[in-house]
Amino acid sequence: MREAYHVELDQLAQKLAAMSAQVADAMEQATQALLGADLELAERVISDDAKVDEARADCEEQAYALLALQAPVATDLRTVLAAIHAAESLERMGDLALHVAKAARRRHPDPVLPEQVRPYFSEMGKIAVRLARQAEQVIRTKDVEAARSLETDDDQVDDIHRHLFTVIMDRDWPHGVAAAVDITLLGRFYERYADHAVSVARRVVFVVTGKMPGYGTDDI
């Protein structure tokens, strides 16, 4: 019975890892759609978001069944609880990629971003996708040091996000209010996406060590 239970825990972890890969693909495609004004790619991200929602529901259903039927304790209980929280964070990452894709669709055929800020979003997109793929590997390996290393990449996204405010608040900003609003919202989407990836990694640290690392933001 216990062996079968641990097989189910492993299956749950694999589902979470697959979700992380899904949301990495979603943000990669959403960023490409944003930078390239690619309507077809944006529509693909938007339609595929339902698959992320379904994956979260599947993970939560299995996790709650394990809680109800197996009454786990100690590490096993931490694993199930962490899985529930991680599934929520991963679903939110999918939603944030969805928001980026919707911005690309809303402005099509015009580009969303002025040329001046495109390099910043290109870099944030690369880092965000890397964070999601690192989170996938952390889920699969339960590597605590790898989990903690995500913080460095997250800091880079935070730095770019803060710098964007100085760019759009410059009195010589030539692109108007609408562009400034788009940039503010999109920067926030990438910043939150990165935060949620770090939150997933922290849940793995909690599973392994029994201690939740301190948060660097107010609501990861």
Q: What is the pLDDT along the chain (220 residues), one digit of tens a residue?
A: 567 778 999 999 999 999 999 999 999 999 999 999 999 999 999 999 999 999 999 999 999 999 888 878 888 899 999 999 999 999 999 999 999 999 999 999 999 999 999 999 999 999 999 999 999 999 999 999 999 999 999 999 999 999 999 999 999 999 999 999 999 999 999 999 999 999 999 999 999 998 888 654 333 3
Q: What is the pTM of this model?
A: 0.94
Rg (CA), the chain: 19
How many C-beta atoms lie closer than 10 Å to residue 208's C-beta? 16
The full set of domains in the chain, from first to last, is 2-209 (1.20.58.220)
